Structure 1
Amino acid sequence: MNRHLSTRSPRFEFVAFCALTLVMLTTRSHALSDVVHLPDTSLASFFLLGFLVRRASAFAGLFLFGFAIDVWTIFVMGGSGFCFTPAYWMLLPAYGVMWFAGRVVADGFGEERSALAAGIALLIAATLVSKLLSSGGFYFLGGRYPDPTIAEFLPRLERYFPGTLFATLLWSGIGATVYAVYKAAQPRLSRAHAQ
């Protein structure tokens, strides 16, 4: 097998990382919001990063890139800084859960179709835990709500989680489809490269 086309090659991992940063930039910065509002890819990007790249340095790089997007959007482009509080750092474990779930799916379940249901179940569970960490961190630690309570937080979670789950499943599904098409085309690409 041609190592340059392998999904475990540094070249593939670099291309995957760049693609994930590009879609995160497009959706997180709302660069196309005048044309179309695309759901945020952040959770799916970290999940796919864990599946495709798995290096801790890639996780750190994608997190810092997301932070840079937020800083640019808020302080340069004049976006809302309402969510930019000391609790922002709860995104680190929230995204870490998604990245780790991607690694578990890749290492534990593999790429077999029989593992699809288990992989989706883990993705849904990871999305819920991630949402609890990020939204819960913001609500309880962000200082925006004077007397936070579980009773007030749960309706917020109920309101916002379905949209987060939809976006995460949508983008993860698109990423999985692109990956499956690439894997299916890989033998032909290897033969063409060898000629």
Structure 2
Amino acid sequence: MVRNSRFDLAVFGILALVMLVTRTHSLSNVMHLPDTSLASFFALGFLVRRGIAFAALFALAYAIDVTVIGWFGQSDFCFTPAYWMLVPAYGTMWLAGRFGAEKLGERASALPAITVLLVAATFVSQLFSSGGFYFLGGRFEDPTLAGFMPRLGRYFPSTLYATLLWTAAAAGVLALLSMARPQLRADSRK
């Protein structure tokens, strides 16, 4: 299926903007917004599906991290050789989004299955990112599975919450746009 490039570019732009706001914590002085990264990659896979879009969004995430660490003095504690485990972590979300769009579609009846897919993808993504950091980051002496499990239990619920929250917000915005301008989604499939 040939997709509408303007629609893809608009989706990418919105996801990039939201990621810029939440990943930089630019609003932290006013309020803390949970990071949208996992939800953004899932939505990108669901709506855009082009490999170049994945690479561009990952490059943006990397550029944001380098900028906030190098120029704005954020801690570099998480910036280790294990940082590259974010490629399979975000790739998991993007591929899950693609799978959901291709196999489940945008029907309301697919919502439970898409939610299960989103939860499973978030868990696998968390294993790549947190597990990679714990086992490969060099920050923990003698990492063990027993040492990792409490960390997974501590960080996964908030990661899942943020991912479900932002994905629901994206789905809600898309539904409202589709109701207000039905030709928008129809045009995106051309």
What TM-score, normalized by structure 2, do the two folds share? 0.94
Indicate the residue corresponding to 1:3 in structure 2.
none
Alpha-carbon distance between aligned partners in 2 of 1:68 and 1:10, rounded to the nearest angstrom: 24
- Does the 8 Å contact 2:122/2:163 carry over to 1? yes
Q: Deviations over 1:125-160 (max 9, x none)?
A: 000000000000000000001100000100000011
Alpha-carbon distance between aligned partners in 2 of 1:145 and 1:83, rounded to the nearest angstrom: 12
- Does the 8 Å contact 2:178/2:184 carry over to 1? no
Q: Work out the number of aligned pairs and report it.
A: 184
The code of the aligned residue for 1:167 comes to: A
Alpha-carbon distance between aligned partners in 1 of 2:180 and 2:29, rounded to the nearest angstrom: 36
Among candidates 153, 159, 165, match of residue 154 of structure 2:
159
Indicate the residue corresponding to 2:71 in structure 1.
76
Query: Gaps spanning 5+ residues in structure 1: where?
Result: 1-7, 191-195
Larger Rg: 1
Distance change (3 Å), C-alpha of 1:188 and 1:65: closer
Alpha-carbon distance between aligned partners in 2 of 1:133 and 1:188, rounded to the nearest angstrom: 39
Indicate the residue corresponding to 2:97 in structure 1.
102
**Higher relative contact order by CA 8 Å / sep ≥ 6: 1 or 2?**
2
Q: Deviations over 1:84-139 (max 9, x none)?
A: 00000000000000000000111100111111100000000000000000000000
Alpha-carbon distance between aligned partners in 2 of 1:28 and 1:188, rounded to the nearest angstrom: 32
Query: Gaps spanning 5+ residues in structure 2: where?
Result: 186-190
The code of the aligned residue for 1:26 comes to: V
Does residue 30 (structure 1) correspond to residue 25 (structure 2)? The answer is: yes
Indicate the residue corresponding to 2:188 in structure 1.
none
Distance change (3 Å), C-alpha of 1:182 and 1:78: same
Report the Cα offset of residue 186 of structure 1: 2.0
SS in structure 2 of the partner of residue 15 of structure 1:
helix
Alpha-carbon distance between aligned partners in 1 of 2:87 and 2:44, rounded to the nearest angstrom: 14
Indicate the residue corresponding to 2:179 in structure 1.
184
Alpha-carbon distance between aligned partners in 1 of 2:77 and 2:89, rounded to the nearest angstrom: 19
Matches within 5 A, 1:30-69: 30-69=25-64
Does residue 173 (structure 1) correspond to residue 164 (structure 2)? The answer is: no
Does residue 147 (structure 1) correspond to residue 142 (structure 2)? The answer is: yes
What TM-score, normalized by structure 1, do the two folds share? 0.92
Indicate the residue corresponding to 2:4 in structure 1.
9
Among candidates 129, 133, 139, match of residue 134 of structure 1:
129
Give the superposed CA RMSD.
Answer: 1.4
Alpha-carbon distance between aligned partners in 1 of 2:37 and 2:20, rounded to the nearest angstrom: 9
Report the Cα offset of residue 188 of structure 1: 7.2
Q: Deviations over 1:36-94 (max 9, x none)?
A: 10000000000000011100000000000000000000011000000000000000000
Report the Cα offset of residue 14 of structure 1: 0.3
Distance change (3 Å), C-alpha of 1:162 and 1:189: closer
Alpha-carbon distance between aligned partners in 1 of 2:62 and 2:17, rounded to the nearest angstrom: 14
Sequence identity percentage = 63
Distance change (3 Å), C-alpha of 1:188 and 1:45: closer
Distance change (3 Å), C-alpha of 1:189 and 1:83: closer
